[in-house]
Amino acid sequence: MYSVDINDHSMEPFTKVNGLSDINTSLVAYDKAHDLLMVCYSNSNIDILQNGLVTNISDIKRKSIVGDKSIYSIYFLGDYAYLGCGFGIVVFDMMKFEIKEIRYE
């Protein structure tokens, strides 16, 4: 991933070496209301980039779930992000940076 400065068009790479928590990015989504970028990885690990800080959310990655833990979609609504996963829906609270609910299919 790269960050592009809109003034001088310079590019800065984001990697595991300089702040990201993992490799193999599978999905990236931006929430304008909270000015944050959600980066999901193929192993279900998640990074939240906001105000120059990276916060790792590894709950789905660490949780013992039988089946597909992949994150396939992200939908932002109010203060929540709804993550469409292979096993069901994860409700993520973007104010507290925590999993609020898991709904299994």
CB 71 within 8 A of CB 61: no
15 vs 25, residue with greater confidence: 25
User: Residue 2's pLDDT is what?
Assistant: 81
Predicted local distance difference test score (pLDDT) of residue 13: 84
- DSSP readout, 31-50? ETTTTEEEEEETTS-EEEEE
**What is the per-residue pLDDT across 26-38, written as a single tens digit (0 to 9) for each?**
999 999 999 999 9
**CA–CA distance from 84 to each of 10, 19, 20, 73, 98 (Å)?**
34, 25, 22, 5, 16
pLDDT for 50-100, tens place per residue? Answer: 988 999 999 999 998 888 999 999 999 999 999 999 999 999 999 999 999
Domains, in order of start, for the chain: 11-104 (2.40.10)
pTM: 0.89
